[in-house]
Amino acid sequence: MKVVITGGAGFIGLNLARAIVKRGTLTGPSGRPEEVDSILLFDQVVPDQLPEGLDERVTMQAGDISDRDTVFGLVDRDDISVFHLASVVSGGGEKDFDLAMRVNLDGGRHVFEAARARKGLPRVVFASSVAVFGGSAMPKTVGDTTKQTPQTTYGMTKTIGELMINDYSRKGFFDGRSVRLPTIFIRPGKPNAAASSFASGVIREPLAGEECILPVKADVQMALLGYRNAVEGFIRLHEADGESIGGDRAVVLPSRTYTVAEMIEGVKRVAAANNIQLGPGTVKPDPVIEAIVAGWATHSEAPRAEALGLSNDESLDRVIQDYIDDFMPPR
């Protein structure tokens, strides 16, 4: 079978591809485990060389997700699964409404229509977000049945994507499921346009001996999930039987809540255990980022995800140590 990952050159997309390469099989439209013989990573920009951890089954293609013909060219087999991760993220969506609508809504519909056009019942896994929640009526703890009241353009487009996944699945066009992601950390590399980027930066930059400029105060709370369990969550939700998910295909992933101050203390503990000299941190509030983050849920519950076998992190320190082991050069 073939696997298409849109947004495949991003952090989660690449690590998802590595995990699928390692597994070798996924449940196909037949409902049985099928050998994965082709993985296509599609993104706006792709690297010149195949990243580490991938093999000859993997190809990369650059293009525009909002171009219908391009997307239909990606989903070109009946024995296929699609992980749709491509998106304009929160901060970027607030700066450019039209771009978010074109990429997130038009692009998403092209992906769904391309899957619908295939014979059989391909599985489509959509990367959503807890940004579908928000507003003054949002409870302190959100979950699978919390009313969707997004307060960002990004969250609005994710809400619409979830509703399309539900309806396309109800109609029997494909077998869809939506992964409601909390903030995923710790992402290597440079900060991106996501308003939540500081949740990785507060750990990543100091570990690299660099200064971290924090756009929020230390008492800000974040619901977080480590990247290892996020990738595993995509795969486990793909593998779950559709009937076990039910009519509402949107599943909140597990998370743990930390303040920025707790994250700072965590990186200090783990750095000391690894003999790493940390770079400094400076609080420089950004009113735009603060306003976006203030509208997010700080706590979540995920009973459906847990019933489906999706894992939460062991601890903050464990995620930081995983990042050191996976992405930092040997000391």
Using CA atoms, how far apart are residues 251 and 181, in angstroms rounded to an integer?
9
Half-sphere exposure of 104 (CA within 13 A, CB side): 27
User: Which of 154, 168, 227, 258 is labelled catalytic?
Assistant: 154
Half-sphere exposure of 323 (CA within 13 A, CB side): 30
At 65 the three-state DSSP class reads: coil
Q: At what angle do helices 227-239 and 316-327 cross, to 10 degrees?
A: 90
Residue 56 DSSP label? T
Residue listed under structure tokens 């076990």: 244
Is 154 marked active-site? yes
Structure tokens at 163: 């509703």
Length in residues, the chain: 331
Residue 32 DSSP label? S
Using CA atoms, how far apart are residues 207 and 80, in angstroms rounded to an integer?
40
Using CA atoms, how far apart are residues 329 and 155, in angstroms rounded to an integer?
36
Sign for the pseudo-dihedral over CA of 206, 194, 130, 121: negative
What letters, b where the CB count within 10 A reaches 16 and e where it falls short, cover 63-76?
bbbbebebbeebbe
19 contacts: CB under 8 Å, gap ≥ 6: 231, 232, 235
Active site residues: 154
